[in-house]
Amino acid sequence: MYHLRLKGDHYQMGVKRGTIFQKSNVTFPLHLDAFQLDYGKRSEQILRAFFPEVCAEIQGVSDTMDMDYTTFASWLLCMGCCMYNLKDNIPIEIRGCTAFAYSKDGSIIYGRNNDLPPYLKNGSKSELYAPSNGNRFLITTSSFINGEEGVNEYGLAVAMTFVMTSLDKIHPGLNSCFVVRYLLEKANSTQHALSLLMELPIASNCNILLADKNEELVVVECTPYIKQIRQAKNIGNSKIVCTVNDFTSDEMKKYVTIVGNDYHSAIRYRTVIDNFSTYIKGNLIEATEQLLKGTYGFICQYEDEPNFETIWSSIFDLKNLMVYRAEGDPRRKKFLTDSRLHDIVQKQ
């Protein structure tokens, strides 16, 4: 996993990234069919209306690498949205993931297993951003510029999980990974993030988890048509919210109209919720590590799934801004401490 630091002007951050890509001879599979390119162009206009800064960052990469900006931006916006359900996609896109957040004993903890094809492991990144006119934040991503999860300087965690969407139900808008990036950079609390999220056009089905250091924990189940807030479950004096690769609310099930492999989503959800009160106690970081390792039930044990595994696991302590990450299958890789965000906030 690459550990990158970016700061300052968005366009120049894009130039820095593009220069790194150039030196490493990185190329991109910008293979888009007519549907994807049309979707991408229309979505870029929406992205620019809400988040022009990130479009400047994309422009910095494309200019440095001498790529067509529109095609490049369209490709980024297709990820996690319409790369998986069209024929002849290169590469074929599949996604799993379990994310949760809980409050217990005065601590607010977020945890995640990011489950993807193993070829994405070596290119995954943990990136510390300090933009000139936005929040400082740490984002973890199997892509770049956008991401699957992160935490910002205000102790706000934002994460996505992918939910399959019929091709005819996809609309131009932000994919879930750009939603994560937007909210990390713009919001300072769960309530602030909710107000911003409710205004965003969403491209396809997804879940957005929001958790802050003030114990505001929710999942927003999103479609291009409707967004529904799912509150955390109260268990004793604690509470927890979890999201996988489906909608949990009965009211939202009707929006999942395509059949596909959700990588045992229901079982992973029950592993988190059913074991919370029994096992998540004492040293909460260590207990959360054990949960993510599958000690208490199925959550990352993908031996029966060819070409699919947990490629990283994360734990965020939202009050202390400390991050603990296993860069690979958490059963085999140690959780290492990442204090970069904590350190820059403490130095201010």
pLDDT at 89 over 60: no
CB atoms inside a 10 Å sphere around CB 131: 18
- Residue of 254, 267, 219 whose CA lies nearest to 96: 267
Q: What is the mean pLDDT of the chain?
A: 94
Which position has the higher pLDDT, 176 or 256? 176
Predicted pLDDT at 93 = 54
How far lies 100's CA from each of 6, 91, 138, 144, in Å? 27, 28, 17, 23
At 165, list the tokens. Answer: 């969407």
CA angle, 102 then 179 then 13, to 5°:
110
Nearest-angstrom CA–CA distance, 203 and 214: 30
Predicted pLDDT at 57 = 98
Nearest-angstrom CA–CA distance, 345 and 179: 23
Predicted pLDDT at 86 = 47
Distance of CA 31 to the CA centre of its chain: 23
Question: Where in the chain are the domains?
Answer: 2-78, 98-346
Instruction: Please report, rounded to a whole number, the percentage of residues in the chain having pLDDT higher than 70.
Output: 97
Nearest-angstrom CA–CA distance, 327 and 121: 8
Q: pLDDT tens across 72-88, in order?
A: 999 999 988 887 644 45
Mean pLDDT for 28-41 is 90
Predicted pLDDT at 30 = 86
Q: Are 14 and 57 in contact (CB under 8 A)?
A: yes
Q: Are 161 and 147 in contact (CB under 8 A)?
A: no
Which position has the higher pLDDT, 153 or 82? 153
Predicted pLDDT at 90 = 39
Class of domain 98-346: alpha beta
Predicted pLDDT at 95 = 74
pLDDT at 166 over 90: no
At 34, list the tokens. Answer: 């007519």
At 30, list the tokens. Answer: 């910008």
Confidence of residue 339 (pLDDT cuts 50, 70, 90): very high
CA trace torsion 310, 169, 204, 259 (10° rounding): -20
pLDDT at 22 over 70: yes
pLDDT at 188 over 80: yes
Predicted pLDDT at 31 = 84
pLDDT at 92 over 80: no
Q: What is the rounded end-to-end Cα distance, in angstroms, of the chain?
A: 27
pLDDT at 37 over 80: yes
CA trace torsion 117, 122, 126, 128 (10° rounding): -140
Q: Are 307 and 143 in contact (CB under 8 A)?
A: no
Q: Is the dihedral of CA 323, 328, 329, 332 positive or negative?
A: negative
Q: pLDDT tens across 49-62, in order?
A: 999 999 999 999 99
DSSP annotation of 122 reads: T
Instruction: Please report, rounded to a whole number, the percentage of residues in the chain having pLDDT higher than 90.
Output: 86
Query: Reading across the β-sheet that carries 238-243, which strands appear in turn?
Result: 233-235, 238-243, 98-104, 107-116, 309-317, 322-326, 336-338
Instruction: Tell me the DSSP string of 288-307.
Output: HHHHHTTTTSSSS--TTSTT
Nearest-angstrom CA–CA distance, 335 and 245: 24
